[in-house]
Chains A and B, each alone.
Chain A
Amino acid sequence: MSGKTQRLLAYLGLALALAFLILAPLAFRRYGLYVLSEWAVMTIAAIGLNLTLGYAGQISLAQGAFVGIGAYSAAILTTHGWPLIAAIVVAVALCFVIGWALGYPALRVQHHYLAFVTLAFSTLAFLIFRNEAWLTGGTEGIDGVPRPTILGLSMAPHLRYYYFCLLVLALASLATLGLVRSPWGRAFVALRENPIRALSLGVDTRRYILAAFAIGSALGGLSGALYAPLVGLVEPPAFNLTLSFTLLMMVIVGGSGYFLGPFLGALIAVLLPEWLRFLESYYLILYALLVMALLIYSPTGLIGILDRLLVNRRTRAASAARAAMSASIEGPAR
């Protein structure tokens, strides 16, 4: 398979996926729409984490907390009469600033230590959500987060809100793709592969580490701000450590450091449990088993499996071509 046909296949796959995402929901019921919207919203958070972890190589177990901060910001502001768009701007800005601050520990410690600092941050954020009732409504949370009205169009119907989430996801993906392909993206990868070498080549590693955290967290905040009106109710247990773990799992299971990784990972983390629901009380057991089996089979995630298949095909095609060639060379001599 040549590079050209492969690119063609990739575009075809993308077009099919887009067509599905746009057309299929027309036939979905309320619950299917909800699950698909959740997928879109969580993918945004996973894209952010993929930027921090997959590209820049900084482990974060705090992405769930940023989704929470975004969701609470949106819930508090919209229930006080702000329009959602303004609330989104505030949520993203707030998470950007907090994410920037959380980046400072990453300047001092790395790897598992960083994982635990961010884990501690998640726990503290959860406690604030739960205990500061004057702001967050405490254990009861904030109920009745309204769906927005955008350009005079009410987003209250589930289908419309789904399209809104899908649009934001598309914008966020394009922005991230632009970032990843820019010199910034290359600086992030340099940071991941060899920070000392990156520094010696004149990359301001300090600034890029902070930026990687800030941008990743801002996307978490965006995801949270969309989540609040989707569910309508914002309460603390939704944003505990489990969410951070789930988001991390999305990135790793999808394929960390690949642009498409989070999309696939979120598919596994959001949709697979729903498909397994017919197993009733066994579904989480089987789900956990599947995730372990997948990681054992391919530690680089789903993208790793695709990669392996493609490489296998390419090597097989190449060896077939070589065999044909040598046959044609040897042929006439005989």
Chain B
Amino acid sequence: MANFVALVIAGLATGALYALVAIGFTLLWQTSQTINFAQGEFVMLPAFFMLAAMKAGLPFWAAIIVGFVLSMAILGFAFKRLLVDPMLQHGVLPLAIATMALSTFLKESVKTFYSAEASPFPSLAPDVDLNVFGVPISWQNIAILIVALMTVLALQYLLDNTFVGRQMQAAAQNPTVARILGVPVERMILYTFLINAALVALASLLISPIYLAKFTNGETLGLAAFAAAIVGGFNQIRGAVVGGLLLGVVDNLSAAYVSTQYRSAIPMFLLIVIILFRPNGLLGRPEERTI
């Protein structure tokens, strides 16, 4: 039983990370119909920004700031301006393919210019276990859960209760009417790209101490985030959170109890079943706009 509880909690921590990545993914989809196949690589990269900054002699906290700034400048601003904007009016597919090429580009660049080996990454939380009623819980998982939870709450507050957030929602739901009503739609889309960049940088900061920073880290993570986004519902933050947590727990439990060989099959199976029987996800609403 203690083992089971420990597995669930570790699963929730992984799931919270999936959720952060999935939220960014759905934000991009909602405001600009970008299916970002490089989302996993977006999570892999900021850790290397931080490592490079530390190599240049900065302390860890300053390196984190540098990592976030670079991530927002490159994965947010430059990504939108250079790749998304020119292709936006040509439909979903060419852009999706371009993001696939981008993922190769990011992976190979890190491998060539930084390192092909896994690099250790400093952790925010102490590497010891907390013992709760005989269940060992690692501080890292607790830190991940707390940070992810606070981020989701802050984001939800931003979207629902602030002027900018309401404008962003309007821009996502109906850009034409939003534009008529004076919402600067273009800037709102840019904000979602910046938020996505910040979310992936955060996920990178949380996940790299556990898996070490490696150029291939994005591959499984990207897929898990897609699955989380779909399982939960493509058009809602709550959906991405539920999907992420569910996927994390199912993933962990099936690795322990079903079969390690088919571990990655379970989320995919879940994905197919959900899409076929509840195409809008567990919490999703029918999509309100068509392309």
A123 touches B97 (CB 8 A): no
Minimum distance in angstroms from B254 CB to a CB of chain A: 13
B275 touches A299 (CB 8 A): no
User: Which B residues are in CB contact (< 8 Å) with A119?
Assistant: 223, 226
- The verdict on A112 contacting B35 (CB below 8 Å), with A105-B276, A123-B268, A292-B105 known, is yes
B271 touches A116 (CB 8 A): yes
Spot the interface stretch: A4-12, A22-30, A248-256: A248-256
- Binding site of A, secondary structure by majority: helix, strand, loop or mixed? helix
Minimum distance in angstroms from B234 CB to a CB of chain A: 8
A292 touches B83 (CB 8 A): yes
CA distance A59 to B96 in the complex (A): 12
Cβ-Cβ contact count across A and B, 8 Å cutoff: 109
CA distance A190 to B129 in the complex (A): 61
Q: Which of A105, A113, A249, A287 contacts B97 (CB 8 A)?
A: A249
Which of chain A's residues has its CB closest to B279's CB?
A: A109
- The verdict on A131 contacting B261 (CB below 8 Å), with A105-B276, A115-B35 known, is yes
Spot the interface stretch: A145-153, A205-213, A278-286, A307-315: A278-286
B98 touches A295 (CB 8 A): yes
A120 touches B261 (CB 8 A): no
Number of chain B residues close to chain A: CB under 8 A: 42
> Would you give the 0/1 interface string for A90-125, flagging 1 where the beta carbon is closer than 8 Å to chain B?
000000000000000100110111011101110110
- Binding site of B, secondary structure by majority: helix, strand, loop or mixed? helix
Q: In this assembly, does A34 line the interface, its C-beta being within 8 Å of a C-beta of chain B?
A: no
CB under 8 Å from chain B, chain A span 223-276: 241, 245, 248-249, 252-253, 256
CA distance A121 to B276 in the complex (A): 13
A117 touches B272 (CB 8 A): yes
- The verdict on A299 contacting B264 (CB below 8 Å), with A288-B105, A292-B101 known, is no
- The verdict on A123 contacting B265 (CB below 8 Å), with A288-B104, A289-B105, A299-B90 known, is yes
Q: Which of A59, A111, A282, A295 contacts B94 (CB 8 A)?
A: A295
- The verdict on A123 contacting B35 (CB below 8 Å), with A109-B276, A256-B93 known, is no
B262 touches A295 (CB 8 A): no
B98 touches A127 (CB 8 A): no
Give the interface centre of A59, A113, A252, A287 by most chain B CB atoms within 10 Å: A113
A121 touches B272 (CB 8 A): yes
User: Which B residues are in CB contact (< 8 Å) with A287?
Assistant: 104
Q: In this assembly, does A180 line the interface, its C-beta being within 8 Å of a C-beta of chain B?
A: no
The range of chain A's interface size is 35 or more
Q: In this assembly, does A300 line the interface, its C-beta being within 8 Å of a C-beta of chain B?
A: yes
B262 touches A127 (CB 8 A): yes
Q: In this assembly, does B74 line the interface, its C-beta being within 8 Å of a C-beta of chain A?
A: no
CA distance A117 to B279 in the complex (A): 11
User: Which A residues are in CB contact (< 8 Å) with B101?
Assistant: 249, 288-289, 291-292, 295
A300 touches B90 (CB 8 A): yes
CA distance A48 to B261 in the complex (A): 31
B98 touches A292 (CB 8 A): yes
User: Which B residues are in CB contact (< 8 Å) with A127?
Assistant: 261-262, 264-265
Q: Which of B105, B268, B275 contacts A105 (CB 8 A)?
A: B275
Q: In this assembly, does B269 line the interface, its C-beta being within 8 Å of a C-beta of chain A?
A: yes
User: Which B residues are in CB contact (< 8 Å) with A123?
Assistant: 223, 264-265, 268
Q: Which of B100, B111, B234 contacts A245 (CB 8 A)?
A: B100
CA distance A108 to B101 in the complex (A): 29
CB under 8 Å from chain A, chain B span 201-224: 223
Q: In this assembly, does A296 line the interface, its C-beta being within 8 Å of a C-beta of chain B?
A: yes
User: Which B residues are in CB contact (< 8 Å) with A121?
Assistant: 272
CB under 8 Å from chain A, chain B span 236-291: 261-262, 264-265, 268-269, 271-272, 275-276, 279, 291
**Knowing that A112-B29, A292-B102, A299-B95 are A-B contacts, what are 8 other residue pairs whose CB atoms are under 8 Å apart, sorted by A's residue number?**
A109-B276, A116-B226, A117-B271, A117-B272, A124-B265, A241-B223, A282-B112, A285-B108
4 closest pairs, A vs B, by CB?
A299-B90, A288-B105, A120-B268, A299-B94
